[in-house]
């Protein structure tokens, strides 16, 4: 099952690579595969039309939960949740590691098959531990885009083939008086499919077992072992259970409630014992362009300049910045980002600012291959200590936006 987006970003299911056209019932412009463009679904009101292409695109989201907060100017209404297609090679690797009906006791059960979960499972198995990795869809392609500092990523032993692109420098542009700062530090864009396959191959070599299913509950015995119950009713015992499912986490305890629902209450001014935290939000596109002003050997980490905004917007509205990965002279990944806000800025606002910025830079988008909706909780509580289930990755608030 694939996904396509109409002219305004509305998510619709479709067969990958197959597009049909129709007219939006709201604005009468041509859209792909659906009656209307999607702004009405996601944002409750259609916005002015932007120069987006008449072709299907992939939707990517960097959050695994749906968040609704109060409806007010510039703040989020609803987060679109999508499902990605299967990585065929990943599926083959997972099938070679899947356990049978009878699940043997092991040293560690890692719940979660994203980058954090697979990296931890492969490292533990490499140290001689018996590891089981659990996930609903461990062979699904990873959705978010990942950027890495090469001096951190490559020493971990990952091959260069796990990178889709490298840049020799990174830069930050501030307001006109701040100028441009160039960091002599190489940056890279992760090839999501290649990294997923690399980690699965490491798990295979280390003897990691896989369970394709849902972890329902974990109980703990006095002998320091834990019993995990799966959705099909089967059980498996381990010495240590690790939650690497990201945010929010089902099995990790916090002093204050961290669930998405309660975070929404906190964002709307609730005085309950919940964590009122901020969010990083971003709207991005993988685009073909007629041309662009970005240096192909420099990754634009942050461009905070607001020349495309009105004086009132610059003075009274939260700042956002452009994150740009130039892939070639005519292809670039562009993302308008709110570093942190509480409640989060809306994707509507971020999308509008992105296209206004591109217009100011004289960048004409000729095609959009992928749309990314990114929402990252910032400043959440650390897990309570001590507790029997360990947290890792986003579940442990290891966030590096």
pLDDT of residue 95: 94
Q: Omega into 386 within 30° of 0, i.e. cis?
A: yes
pLDDT tens digit sequence for 146-205: 999 999 999 999 999 999 999 999 999 987 666 889 999 999 999 999 999 999 999 999
Alpha helices in 322-382 (DSSP H): 347-360
Task: Name which of 32, 48, 31, 70 is nearest 268 in CA terms.
Answer: 70
pLDDT of residue 276: 65
> What rounded mean pLDDT belongs to the chain?
79
State the pTM of this model. Answer: 0.78
* Residue 157: C-alpha distances to residues 120, 162, 186, 202, 399 (Å): 14, 10, 17, 11, 21
pLDDT band at 126 (very low <50, low <70, confident <90, very high): very high
pLDDT of residue 329: 97
pLDDT at 78 over 60: no
pLDDT tens digit sequence for 20-36: 334 333 333 333 332 22
Q: Which of residues 346 and 102 earns the better pLDDT score?
A: 346
Reading the block at residue 33, the tokens are 């595969």
pLDDT of residue 256: 76
pLDDT of residue 376: 86
Most confident of 84-88, 252-256, 264-268, 346-350: 346-350
pLDDT of residue 358: 97
pLDDT band at 75 (very low <50, low <70, confident <90, very high): low
Residue 14, SS3 per DSSP: strand
pLDDT at 39 over 50: no
């Amino acid at each position: 099952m694939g996904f396509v987006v109409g002219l305004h970003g509305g998510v619709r299911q479709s067969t990958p690579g197959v597009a049909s056209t129709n007219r939006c019932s709201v604005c009468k412009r041509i859209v792909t595969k659906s009656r209307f463009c999607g702004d009405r679904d996601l944002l409750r009101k259609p916005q002015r039309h932007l120069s987006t292409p008449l072709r299907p695109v992939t939707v990517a989201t960097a959050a695994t939960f749906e968040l609704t907060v109060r409806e007010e100017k510039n703040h989020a209404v609803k987060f679109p949740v999508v499902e990605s297609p299967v990585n065929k090679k990943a599926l083959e690797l997972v099938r070679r590691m899947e356990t049978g009906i009878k699940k043997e006791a092991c040293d560690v059960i890692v719940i979660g098959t994203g980058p954090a979960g697979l990296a931890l499972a492969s490292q533990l198995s490499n140290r001689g531990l018996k590891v089981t990795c659990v996930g609903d869809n461990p062979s699904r392609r990873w959705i978010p885009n990942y950027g890495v500092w090469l001096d951190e990523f490559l020493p971990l032993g990952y091959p260069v083939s796990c990178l889709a692109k490298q840049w020799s420098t990174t830069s930050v542009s501030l307001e006109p008086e701040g100028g441009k700062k160039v960091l002599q530090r190489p940056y890279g864009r992760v090839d999501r499919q290649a990294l997923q396959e690399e980690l699965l191959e490491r798990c295979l070599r280390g003897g990691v077992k896989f369970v394709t299913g849902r972890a329902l509950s974990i109980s703990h015995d006095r002998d320091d072992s834990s019993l995990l119950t799966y959705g099909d009713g089967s059980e498996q015992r381990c010495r240590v259970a690790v939650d690497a499912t990201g945010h929010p986490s089902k099995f990790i305890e916090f002093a204050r409630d961290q669930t998405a629902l309660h975070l929404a209450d906190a964002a709307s001014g609730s005085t309950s014992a919940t964590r009122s935290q901020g969010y990083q939000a971003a709207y991005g596109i993988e685009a073909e362009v007629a041309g662009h002003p970005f240096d192909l050997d420099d990754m634009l980490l942050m461009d905070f300049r607001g020349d495309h905004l009105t004086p009132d917007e610059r003075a009274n509205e939260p700042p956002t910045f452009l994150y740009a990965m130039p892939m070639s002279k005519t292809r670039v990944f562009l993302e308008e980002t709110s570093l942190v806000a509480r409640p989060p800025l809306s994707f509507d606002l971020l999308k509008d600012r992105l296209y206004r910025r591109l217009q100011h830079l004289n960048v004409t988008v000729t095609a959009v291959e992928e749309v990314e909706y990114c929402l990252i909780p910032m400043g959440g509580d650390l897990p309570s200590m001590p507790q029997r289930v360990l947290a890792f990755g986003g579940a442990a608030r290891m966030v590096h936006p």
